[in-house]
Structure 1
Amino acid sequence: MNAPYDHEALWLKAKLFLNRAMDNDEARSFDEQAMWASLALELLAKAALARASPLLIAVPTEDGMNVLIALGLIGGTARFESVPAKTLYSRCEKAFKPFSKAEAGKISQARNEYLHGVSAGFTLIPEAAWWPRYWAQAVIVVAACDKEIEDLVGDSRATLVRDHLDQNKKNVEHRTEMLLERARQRRAQYDAGTLPARVAGEWQPGQLLTAGLSHSQEEPCPACGRQGVIEGEDVSDVDTQYERIDEDYEVIVTLTVDSEFFSCPHCGLVLDNYQLLEQAGIQPTFEAEGDDSDIPYEGDYGND
């Protein structure tokens, strides 16, 4: 019997569910297909993390039971409990760029509403738009498993998946251009004094639209060229330099931060995910000033 944290077993189960999701049987509705696909995405995320370490999917408890099971120190009939989808997707976003916990979370929320809520439909998003967005996330965790799309769905269906991925790329391009053009138009209307009252009530130049993430830096706006703000939460590198001042040393800490959110107070442009930022030409990382608390703690050495 396979261990519940065995990444290969999780992969095979995801493969089974996705083949059900892509079944051409006319009796299987889109709602049912999407449900199986959403379950498969959670399994793929779990498999990708478990492949790195089973500890990444173990629920921490006071007695450490799940961690001990994941480490192989407890076997037999002990029950292993894995973390929920929300935690899986949060960890995947940090570990497997550019996976989006927000996009994956929408899929899980729609599934939960479909199974436990009063709605009879899986999602308000049309089927033709849902699959491209789904595969944009799934293909990232497939790669994190060191697998190819063909390994998951077979050669005959891989072409369909790539068509969905191409469509998602076009959708991102169109959405990015739409947001940029709308921001340019909004600023032009303001400068000309023709901005509709309703829009003026929602936005005025100088209004902060930031997300309040931990780190930020000025960044030229791809719509109007003025200075906007790029923000991020996750630090991918810490550079520490020491500068001598008289008899003392001053530490200079520079952080490399993953770009997550851009906003411009001058035209109202907001780009709120990695794909939009990339398409708009904003760099995937930026530098921010840190302090002593950002320096990684290396622990104590010696036996005293």
Structure 2
Amino acid sequence: MKQTIKSGATPAAFDPNALYTKALRYIQNMDNHDSDEWEYALWSSLALEFLARAALGNVSPPLLAEPDKSGSNLHFALGFASLEEKFSPKSIAISEVFRRLSAILPEFVKEHEAFGIVHTGKRNAELHSGELAFDGVKGSSWQPRFYQTCEILLASMGFSLEDFVGSDEADVAKQLIAAAADNGAKAVNGDVAAHSKVWQAKPESEQKTLAAQAMIWASRQIGHRVDCPACGSTALVQGEPVSAPSQKLEDDVIIESQEYLPTQFECIACGLRIIGLSKLAVVALSDRYKKTQKYNLSEIYAPLDDYSMFEEDNNEP
């Protein structure tokens, strides 16, 4: 049998390589923001959509084509030129992309499908309505599932998280994924409940005194101030740096910022202590935090001269 009609190259609208490149662009824009900013979450949702489309297109580009009566979208995805007037190719909705992926990729289960639909749905609300869909949303509520979903999609195309987000962010992502998957960490809820019960049994006057002491203590320690899940007093989380320091200049002042991933928590008011990211994730204390320091230019570029090697000059006229 002789094939007389041959298709051309896959058009960019359905080309998995083009879609993956676009996902990389958006994930790089995400990295330009701090992990607690709404823009960070918005760019992540855009990156996830195109990563999902790339993964489905990598199975077969026609899977991305929206069904129509004439089959023009399918023909176009196969690399054939459309003969229709004013033709504009259309791809399936992102929710359908996730549904098809869950039916094709064994590792892409219903939880990943549901997360993808919800996360990109917030993007739609952010861009097409007056709703501030990502404002006030903690990273710990979506980042572990986001990275896990990305990891599965990337693996289906022969890529890794390191390829997609870089080695530093990939290390953080893997810690977040592991912490979220640690079911044994849920036992920390018992510790929180026990400390809360003891706290509630204390006289109100003692609670106020302890809370005031905790606020003073937290302000003098190195770490990130949070509310204690057991007693509500000011407490501290401390962690390890997960990014290189970034610097910017504002009015002759250098502002240096660095992100940290929490590893431990302490409240001196009720005595609650929590060690480990997985346990912190259970009580919603695993969000990355930013340490910011300010330096005057003169402190760095014009240090005081050291005259210790010279005798005092008393030769006044």
If the length of structure 1 is used for normalisation, what is the TM-score? 0.52
* Structure ID, larger Rg: 2
Match of 1:41 in 2: 48
More off after superposition, 149-158 vs 80-89? 149-158
> Taking every aligned residue pair, what percent have the same amino acid on both sides?
27
8 Å CA contact retained: 1:113, 1:122: no
In 1, the alpha carbon distance for the partners of 2:180 and 2:128 equals 29
**How many residue pairs were aligned?**
175
Helix, strand or coil for the counterpart of 1:4?
helix
- Equivalent position to 1:72, from 55, 75, 79: 79
- The separation in 2 between residues aligned to 1:120 and 1:85, in whole angstroms, is 21
Partner of 2:67: 60
Structure 1 unaligned spans of 5+: 179-304
* Aligned-partner Cα distance in 2 for 1:167–1:15: 26
Residues 64 and 174 from structure 1, CA distance in 2 versus in 1: closer, same or farther, beyond 3 angstroms?
farther
Using the TM superposition, give the Cα deviation of residue 66 of structure 1 relative to its aligned residue in structure 2, in angstroms.
0.8
Instruction: Tell me the equivalent position of 2:126.
Output: 114
Contact 2:72 2:82 in 1 (8 A): no
Partner of 2:200: none
Aligned to 1:148: 160
Pairing of 1:195-210 with structure 2 (within 5 A): none
**Alignment of structure 1 residues 69-148 onto 2, 5 Å:** 69-74=76-81, 79-99=88-108, 100-122=112-134, 125-148=137-160
Q: Give yes or no for the alignment of 1:21 onto 2:30.
A: yes
CA RMSD of aligned residues (A): 2.8
Code of the aligned partner of 1:146: G
Determine the structure 1 residue equivalent to 2:37: 30
Pair 1:174–1:105, CA change in 2 (3 A): farther
> Where does residue 272 of structure 2 map in the other structure?
none
Equivalent runs, 1:238-257 vs 2, <5 Å: none
- What one-letter code is carried by the residue in structure 2 that aligns with 1:39? L
- Measure, in 2, the Cα distance between the counterparts of 1:75 and 1:32: 38
The one-letter code sitting in structure 2 at the alignment partner of 1:57 is L
In the alignment, the residues of structure 1 paired with residue 119 and residue 173 of structure 2 have an alpha-carbon distance, to the nearest angstrom, of 17
Q: Which residue does the alignment assign to 1:188?
A: none
For the 8 Å contact 2:27–2:47, the answer to whether it is kept is yes
Matches of 1:94 and 1:84, distance apart in 2: 16
Question: Once the 2 structures are TM-superposed, how far is the Cα of residue 173 of structure 1 from its aligned partner?
Answer: 5.6
Take 1:175 and 1:95, find their aligned partners in 2: how far apart are those partners?
A: 33
| Cα distance in 1 between the residues matched to 2:59 and 2:20 | 13
User: TM-score if structure 2 supplies the norm length?
Assistant: 0.50
